[in-house]
Structure 1
């Protein structure tokens, strides 16, 4: 199975930029009034989602500044501050929200383009408390833009994702479940791939289907195109 982290940096950045363009395309198809409607995320309108995606880019910029300068700059002051920022952002005008997305996307891309080579391996800390190299920000942003394009709920599908995204998302999600002792007994049977057991315990629930369908289910975005009816997946973030 291919891994996103094994790609050259230029190719990883290309996947992130493709995801940004994909999200932007779906956003452009929405009218300003459409932004008031719900997403696939419980309790969030498209306004909330757009604010989150914009502020996430700004938060990643802080991690890149940390990597470049050595001065600690957390993604968010606290989980409460992050939630408050999103709630307040959702009250902005549609034009302001669209501008927030465009502006923060441009800033993040600029930070990536100008980050010194040595700084890509500088250690920073994610909002979940993981210590990772600054290079991880590219994968973090890929997850945001590709998955949240689907969350806009206006036609984006996991089947539109590059295979490298789907394969790496599956690895990421299973790894998260294992680290958090979740998903005991789950076996993922992806068409054309060897089965993946989440734990060493007895097999209790088999999830079968094409790669895009299995990843969509595992990411908590619904059971679409799976072989059988299945329960909700364990949370992974």
Structure 2
């Protein structure tokens, strides 16, 4: 853990993430979690044990991952408020163990855990325009705003992963234009050198889903390039 002077986040809000994008990401992430909670409440135990769209993971695994990430980002927000930088997870092994344990939760237990995290995140995130969004974090060497963006991406993407194939299916139509634009910018590094997002034909939402490693609602035309790994080292600004 690194302790920083309380005066560290001195960058004026106007030079950091603008109020509008931060406010939208915070609001849409909260709306995404609310929608996920509503849908999970109508799942059965068999639904939870069924396969998600992610190899080797049940729907319960995906929900446990969402809860684990929410817990991690809550820790980042609280650390920034204290003027500290802490790791996102204690270790990769601890992260994996948490997902495996959480995957065994009942529907009621998932709802309790995710509901408590929803309330805690709403209290812990700084208000739009706060200089704390520029405070250093333990996530990719970037500021706290990157933690919010990661949470926004993950809760929206994994809602589709967890609910696909159920009667409460949530699809890519729940991804608004701002999220799709953010995802295309964030994931463009997965494309080979010399290929841009604009070179990939198809509906922008389907292109976004493909860039995220998911199966688009409508297949994309033409020969698609092989995607590189998910971004993992550059600061998430």
Structure 2: 5+ residue stretches without partners: 1-16, 232-237
TM-score, normalization by structure 2: 0.79
| Structure 1 counterpart of 2:38 | 25
Distance change (3 Å), C-alpha of 1:112 and 1:76: same
Name whichever of 33-42 and 92-101 sits farther off: 92-101
| Structure 2 counterpart of 1:141 | 151
Distance change (3 Å), C-alpha of 1:228 and 1:22: farther
Q: Is this contact kept in 2: 1:121–1:134, CA < 8 A?
A: yes
TM-score, normalization by structure 1: 0.79
Cα distance in structure 2, aligned partners of 1:24 and 1:40: 18
CA shift digits 1:111-167 (9 cap, x unpaired): 0157993322110121xxx11111222211110111011101132222221100001
Cα distance in structure 1, aligned partners of 2:116 and 2:178: 27
| Structure 1 counterpart of 2:212 | 219
Q: Which has the higher strand share?
A: 1
Q: Is this contact kept in 2: 1:22–1:146, CA < 8 A?
A: no
Using the TM superposition, give the Cα deviation of residue 187 of structure 1 relative to its aligned residue in structure 2, in angstroms: 4.1
| Structure 2 counterpart of 1:160 | 174
Distance change (3 Å), C-alpha of 1:73 and 1:212: same
Q: Is this contact kept in 2: 1:54–1:105, CA < 8 A?
A: no
Runs of 4+ aligned structure 1 residues displaced above 4 Å come to 113-116
**RCO higher in structure (CA 8 A, sep ≥6):** 2
1:150 to 153, 160, 182: 160
How big is the alpha-carbon RMSD for the aligned residues of Structure 1 and Structure 2?
2.3
Distance change (3 Å), C-alpha of 1:93 and 1:159: closer
Q: Is this contact kept in 2: 1:217–1:233, CA < 8 A?
A: no
Mapping for residues 161-200 of structure 1, pairs under 5 Å: 161-174=175-188, 176-177=189-190, 183-188=192-197, 195-196=198-199
Q: Is this contact kept in 1: 2:133–2:144, CA < 8 A?
A: yes
1:234 to 213, 228, 236: 228
Distance change (3 Å), C-alpha of 1:122 and 1:227: same
Give the number of equivalent residue pairs: 209
Cα distance in structure 1, aligned partners of 2:96 and 2:115: 21
1:56 to 55, 69, 75: 69
Q: Is this contact kept in 1: 2:74–2:121, CA < 8 A?
A: yes
Distance change (3 Å), C-alpha of 1:213 and 1:158: same
Cα distance in structure 1, aligned partners of 2:105 and 2:226: 33
| Structure 1 counterpart of 2:12 | none
